[in-house]
Amino acid sequence: MAIGEFRMLVAWGVIAAGYPLAALAAAPPPTDPEPPFSFERAPGRLPKTVVPSRYEIAITPNIEAKTFTGVESVALDLRASTDELVLNSLDETLTEVRFDGQPVATVASDDEQQLTTVHLAHRARTGAHRLTFTYTGKIETRPQGLFLQPYAYPDGTSGKMLSTQMESTDARRLFPCWDEPAFRAVFVLTFTVPSDWATVSNMPIARRTVHGALQTVRFDPTPKMPSYLVEFTGGELGHLSGQSGATALGVWAVRGQEATGQYALDNAAQILGDYNDYFGYPFPLPKLDSIAIPGGFSGAMENWGAITYNERHLLLPPSSTLSQQQEIYAVQAHEMAHQWNGDLVTMGWWDDLWLNESFASWMAAKETALRNPSWQWWEQADVDKESAMRADALANSPAIQQHVTDELQASNAFDPAITYDKGQSILRMLEAYLGPGPFRDGIRRYMQAHAFSNATTTDLWVALSAATGKDVGRIAGDWTGRPGFPLLHVAAACGADGARTVHVTQSRFLSAGATQGESHWAVPLQVRIGSHGEPASVLLSDAPISAGSCAEPLSLDAGAIGFYRVQYDAATLQTNTAHFGELPDGDRIALLDDEWALVLARAEPLKNYLALASGMDGDLDTRAWQQISDSLGTIEYDERGRPGHEALTAYARSVLAPAFAALGWNAKPDEAPDRQELRRTLIRDLGVWGDADVIRVARQRFDTFLKDPASLAPSDQPAILAVVAHDADATTFEQLHRLAKSTKNMSELGRFYSALAEVRDPTLADEAAPIIFSAEIPPQAFQARLQMLGALAQEHPALGWRLFSQHAHELLASQGNMEALVEAQYVPQIFWNSAPLDEIEAWVRGKVPAEMAPEMERGMAAAHRKIDEKALLIREADALTEERHAS
Ligand SMILES: [Zn+2]
């Protein structure tokens, strides 16, 4: 699953982490290594003695009544004699239940436990049997099980369609089943829907029979797969088709929108070819469809052979921006990687969810970087790594491999920072250490060994060890099995001849200050001496490292690949700062990231970070500048409403000004896309931080744009609109609102409405607020609502919190069963500055179940941390301002 809006929610909060609770800082005891996968040993609530092998399921929806009827027949293998069957069900009523054609004794469904227990009339022998029944269920209005999605487009198209979302545990809402990932089975689906509908499922259509206004569509049997990958979509759909090798490709969308799927279709062909090669295992299904769901849910879902996407992750309307294009490619690459990691080989239980998600994220970044070199994608992925490191620097952060007691808690494992981003970073660090070729060979072995089956983390280590000849479990186990990551303390000694010897020690890094805990991580270092040359790949040991001369810069995280932080001794930091402008981009990014984190952890003074930021020396690397822009932006936010704000923004402008002067207002011919993104970042920051020239030119460009929409490229619009909106008066607000109401497609709609909510004037903010919940925003565009609320909350925290806390359930509809995780873990760190923390905590307590206390404590710890950091940054920034004035 890709988790789109979730990420955006996280981005609002500029999340930091860590909480000064020394008692929590001790490393937990090492976990016992998990055994290789075995069906019998896999965790779960359902007995492993009754095993379904094939489901035949026929469903007839009643859209008006939001119900459906079903007929189900399950082939069972009894591995022990029994008189009881236990399976999952939710909001369903079973009737005519028969076992081998004979009525059963009793049937009891418990929606609290999400179980149905069938007592047989007689004890059944081991071997093959059949369970049959009819049943009724509910069509949902949220993306859980079978759901109804209304839509309306700016071109006037409107209607309703059906689709499904099963992961983690919602297949049971569509059909009673053994709904745990180890129970792989064949699914044969039949749907009876209006005859003018197009229908898509995991497999091609086997037979279609029209009877009057209805049609009955039966799909080919799936391969053996877990229930959470079952998919059905039906509606007034159009499609584009293509081919990649033996695989038929399709892109489906609401009829009339499908033409905007050409980009996705081309991507799918490219990615599928690359993955067939990389995994050494050709995509095993005859077809792969990509389905654009208007709204419905956040992100995308990797159903085998029938991937569903929120339409904004698949369709590229005219006037889309570069970042939309990038997001589509990256999300497709993520979902398609799941066709192997997740679908062909599934984690045995939810505690190994990272095998699905970290892997898909890492593979997607690798593929996106490979095929779009001008995007500098790995540098952009540094943003994800930093977000993971901030979350993992909390004393109470979870490990990548999380204990999941029962499947009803599985949704809590979809933590974007840890399960996705930390896991992706660990895999990248491991690949760099083992070498890309041997690493790929290990993945191929893993696929071959576990195809059409399940696996555990240990199975992955075994395959990688066999391919590389290294004990990968020993190196990688602590990174996935325990929370946190190390801070490396670098102490250089200079010999009489200037030769440098480096001693490195480690302790767990916590954002509230590093602890001197036992050192236990096997750290694969990338060591670069000087500003040029290839880094050396070494595993950290107690032995001193011989590292060139003391006059040369030194990087222990060359290329910013490592999931650790480095604190250099004062002399080495000084040398690195003096040579900062000439370092390779990745080394520079790592230094900026680490120094900023050390400032927030009170381990380095702010002026050390600012010395780096001011030392870019004409270099225009996009990620490095964005890191600087984000850090200055954090201080600017904290200083708002305080006497130090004006001096701080003037200083921040002076840091960015040389880069903007070098770039100029207009893109040069053949300028790389990421450099153009940098220009947009600088325009936005300089304008919002009060640069009068930037505000004036932005205003001119906006006025021209209103008369001639072609005068401003779509990708350039958000920055210009942001600057204009921040300074808007009533007339400008009206102009922006008219612009929003005149949008021609969903891409413009998101962009223009979001700008409307960036107004700084409180009266205008009050006018923007009701628009978020009005019918001006189409039913499927929940993302635009969230974007508006996020923009409003940035400038008007109290108003943002009031709106969010009153409308959370409506605003988070797309989160499905992850809503509680968002509320518990993310709401406190998003709204930390919007209301007293005890008010926020009380609100969260009232929303989420008691067993989510650990998630809530993480959220609250991060919020407390933000408040501490705010005090620290204000103190340090004000002191530096005084110093500057005094000198
Ligand atoms: Zn995923």
Rounded to 10 degrees, the C-alpha dihedral 41/51/341/218 comes to -170
Phi-psi region of 660 (alpha: psi -120 to 50; beta: other; left: phi over 0): alpha
Going by C-beta distance under 8 Å and a sequence separation of 6 or more, which residues neighbour residue 868? 20, 512
Rounded Cα–Cα distance for residues 857 and 512 (Å): 16
Distance 721 CA to ligand 1 centre (A): 33
**Average pLDDT along the chain:** 94
- Between CA 318 and CA 310 the distance in angstroms is 17
Residue 626 Cα to ligand 1 midpoint, Å, equals: 26
Residue 22's pLDDT band, with cuts at 50, 70 and 90, is very low
Q: Are strands 93-99 and 127-138 parallel, antiparallel or unpaired?
A: antiparallel
- Per-residue tokens: 657: 């000004």
Residue 742 pLDDT more than 60? Answer: yes
| Model confidence pLDDT, tens digit, residues 640-663 | 999 999 999 999 999 999 999 999
* 525: phi then psi, degrees, rounded to nearest 5: -95, 150
pLDDT at 617: 80
Distance (Å) from CA 273 to ligand 1 centroid = 20
Distance 93 CA to ligand 1 centre (A): 32
Which residues sit with Cβ closer than 5 angstroms to ligand 1, an ion?
Answer: 1, 357, 360
pLDDT of residue 3: 64
Helix ranges, 774-826 (H): 782-795, 797-811, 819-821
Model pLDDT, residue 410: 85
Instruction: Determine which one of 231, 302, 311, 335 is catalytic.
Output: 335
Residues counted in the chain: 887
Whether residue 285 contacts residue 322, with contact meaning beta carbons closer than 8 Å, is answered with no
Q: Which residue has the higher pLDDT, 655 or 779?
A: 655
What's the CA gap between 409 and 168, in Å, rounded? 9
Looking at residues 548-565, what average pLDDT do you find? 97
- State pLDDT tens for residues 100-134: 999 999 999 999 999 999 999 999 999 999 999 99
A 10 A CB-CB count for 322 gives 17
- pLDDT tens column, 798-836: 999 999 999 999 999 888 778 899 999 999 999 999 999
When mean pLDDT is compared across 19-23, 444-448, 730-734, the lowest value belongs to 19-23
Question: Does pLDDT of 19 surpass 80?
Answer: no
What phi and psi, each to the nearest 5 degrees, are found at residue 621?
A: -65, 130
The 3 state secondary structure assigned to 385-409 is HHHHHHHHCCCCCCCCCCCCCCHHH
Banded model confidence at residue 387, pLDDT cuts 50, 70, 90: very high
SS3 content of the chain, % helix, strand, coil (to 5): 45, 20, 30
pLDDT reported for residue 403: 86
pLDDT attached to residue 440: 98
Residues 49, 51, 57, CA angle at the centre, nearest 5°? 150
Binned at pLDDT 50, 70 and 90, residue 517 comes out as low
The three-point CA angle 532-536-539 to 5° equals 150
> Model confidence over 667-694: pLDDT tens digits?
999 999 999 999 999 999 999 999 999 9
Does pLDDT of 16 surpass 50?
no
Question: Ligand 1 centroid to 403 CA: how many Å?
Answer: 19
Average pLDDT, stretch 607-617?
94
Buried b (16+ CB within 10 A) or exposed e, 183-204: bbbebbbbbbbeeebbbbbbbe
Residue 424 contacts residue 362 (beta carbons within 8 Å) = yes
Is 216 exposed, middle or buried (CB count within 10 Å of its CB: 0-12, 13-18, 19+)? middle
Nearest partner of 428 among 490, 335, 361, judged by Cα: 361
Q: Read off the pLDDT of residues 154-201 as tens digits, 9 standing for 90 and up.
A: 999 999 999 999 999 999 999 999 999 999 999 999 999 999 999 999
Query: Two tokens at 170?
Result: 């919602």
Residue 81 has pLDDT above 50, yes or no: yes
- Residue 33: DSSP 8-state: P
Q: pLDDT tens for residues 519-552?
A: 689 999 999 999 988 999 999 998 999 999 999 9
- Distance between Cα 166 and ligand 1 center (Å): 13
Q: Ligand 1 center to residue 354 CA distance, Å?
A: 9
Active site residue 84: no
Task: Name residue 491's beta-bridge partners.
Answer: 503
Percentage of the chain with pLDDT > 70? 96
Other beta carbons within 10 Å of 726:
20
pLDDT (tens digit per residue) in 312-350: 999 999 899 999 999 999 999 999 999 999 999 999 999
Residues 348, 180: Cα–Cα separation, whole Å: 9
Instruction: Calculate how far, in angstroms, residue 159's C-alpha sits from the geometric centre of ligand 1.
Output: 29
Residue 737 has pLDDT above 80, yes or no: yes
Q: β-strand 205-211 against 214-219: which pairing, if any?
A: antiparallel
CA of 302 to the centre of ligand 1 (A): 7
* Tokens coding 430: 């491991």
- The three-class DSSP label of residue 121 is strand
The one-letter amino acid code at 398 reads P
pLDDT of residue 518: 66
Pairing of strands 186-194, 50-62: parallel
Report pLDDT for 233: 98
How much is the pLDDT for 20? 25
Using CA atoms, how far apart are residues 563 and 417, in angstroms rounded to an integer? Answer: 13
CA 327 to ligand 1 center in whole angstroms? 14
CA 525 – ligand 1 centroid, Å: 28
Nearest alpha-carbon partner for 87 in 124, 56, 43, 131: 131
For residue 852, what is the DSSP state?
Answer: G
User: Cα of 338 to ligand 1 centre, how many Å?
Assistant: 7
Q: What pLDDT band is residue 9 in, cutting at 50, 70 and 90?
A: low
Ligand 1 centroid to residue 811 C-alpha, Å = 22
Fill in the DSSP letter of residue 563. S
Cα of 827 vs centre of ligand 1, distance in Å, is: 22
| pLDDT for the residue numbered 814 | 83
Task: Tell how far the Cα of 424 is from the centroid of ligand 1, in angstroms.
Answer: 11
pLDDT of residue 414: 87
Average pLDDT over residues 365-373: 98
